[in-house]
Amino acid sequence: MKQFIIRLFIISAVLAMANFVSGLFNPALISKAWWWLPVFFMVTNGFLFWLFLRAQDKKLSSFANFFMIATFTKLLFYLAVILIYVFYNRADAVPFIITFFIYYAFFTAYEVITITKPKS
């Protein structure tokens, strides 16, 4: 778990720096809320990974069911966050959705790679 959190922090820092630097060149493409997205994804992915670790101790079919339900719930939660943000900040909708998707792609890829990696 500790190694996962450290790598999660590194991914967050790299993405935040890339977001900041790209905002210097073209501020119109960067959401005003970019700064809290790394924290949001670190917290949600860290919590889900902790739940996945606990579920891995059970039989494989239970873990597979839990993984699918947790992923579906996470998607619904993320969709709710996007919709609520866009409802209250319509002018920032497109940059927020693009930024959110980029963070989502990187964090989800890391999460899936880590979960499916065989234990040593």
Write the pLDDT tens digit of every residue in 63-114: 788 888 988 999 999 999 999 999 999 999 999 998 999 999 999 999 888 8
Q: d(Cα 108, Cα 65) in Å, to the nearest integer?
A: 18
Write the pLDDT tens digit of every residue in 20-41: 888 778 777 788 888 899 999 9
More confident residue, 3 or 82: 82
Q: What share of the chain is helix, strand, coil (3-state, %, to 5)?
A: 90, 0, 10
pTM of the model: 0.84
Supply the pLDDT for residue 72: 94
Q: d(Cα 91, Cα 101) in Å, to the nearest integer?
A: 17
